[in-house]
Amino acid sequence: MALWQRLSRGLARTRESLLGPLQSTLSARTSTPEVLDELEEILISADVGVDAAAEIVAGLKERLDKGHLEREELERALEDIIAELLAGAEVSWSPPPHRPGVILFVGVNGSGKTTTVAKVARLLKKEGRSVLLAAADTFRAAAIEQLAELGEEAGAEVIAHRAGADPGAVVHDALAHAKSKGYDCVLVDTAGRLQTKRPLMEELGKVRRVVEKVYGRAPDERVLVIDATVGQNAISQAKLFNEAIGVTGLAVAKLDGTAKGGAVIPIWQALRIPILWVGFGKGLDDLEPFCARAFARALIRR
């Protein structure tokens, strides 16, 4: 199945919230100012954001000024404009060149972080990489058990301590083990935390310092996992996590469970942090590298 088709399945709820009103709006009046006003309101209601909606409508107006567009032509124009807006969010990601590379995953409670860690492990395993998972979320015993189960499913070894242990100690042991065994990548699952809780945010700094002490460098990637169901609220989360650890990439989870998938656009515009992966299901294979054109096409077309 093509990438855009997999994304289309995952973005079904968002697309219907956008295309349902859009199709009725465009059915008869394709080139009037009233249509553009209605389209802007539809985009905002789909959580695309005020600024992004205005930019999209402005792009459509430029095309309409050159001549009449039928509905299908307008939909293709929408796809093109959205793909252009998101083009900078797409990167050709590859695992860190160091061996082992260290990827730190962070996020708020319930963001889908632990599942995303396992999904990335599955992707890397498919590429022939050896992967070690570090269960540094020691606040929840269930999180350790969840990562152990998912790690087994993904075919990745997991280093874990008991619940309540020092996360820094878990990371230290995982890094030492990875170095001695020659692993390609270490994926670190940290505890979910509210971005407003300073002690927990400071703990991320401690984990980072452990990596620096063992390997002489910061984690190669610091990935923030965003729950798509919270829409644009993710922007404030990301800003604070970025201040704490310097986020290098985003993973957008749970796109299949929301009508707010359009929020990916204002999130990128506000943060300018690359979107590495998008998740749209519970299975370990329900994760794809972010592609601006495929995302835009899935957002607009069935």
- Residue 244 main-chain phi, psi, to 5 deg: -75, -40
Mean pLDDT on 226-240: 85
All domains in the chain, ordered by first residue = 3-89 (1.20.120.140), 101-291 (3.40.50.300)
What residues contact residue 30 under an 8 Å CB cut-off, 6+ apart? Answer: 68, 69, 70, 71, 74
Cβ atoms of 170 and 159 closer than 8 Å: yes
The per-residue pLDDT for 25 is 60
Tens-digit pLDDT profile for residues 161-205:
999 899 999 999 999 999 999 999 999 999 876 655 566 677 788
Tens-digit pLDDT profile for residues 94-140:
999 888 999 999 998 889 999 999 999 999 999 999 999 999 998 87
Residue 207 in this model has a pLDDT that exceeds 80: yes
How confident is the prediction for the chain on average, in pLDDT? 86
Mean pLDDT on 222-226: 95
Edge-to-edge strand ranges of the sheet holding 287-289: 157-159, 131-136, 185-190, 101-106, 221-227, 249-253, 275-279, 287-289
The per-residue pLDDT for 58 is 92
Confidence (pTM): 0.90
Q: Which residue has the tokens 């997999």?
A: 6
The per-residue pLDDT for 160 is 96
The per-residue pLDDT for 171 is 96
Mean pLDDT on 66-79: 78
The per-residue pLDDT for 280 is 84
Q: DSSP 3-state helix, strand, coil percentages of the chain (rounded to 5)?
A: 55, 15, 30
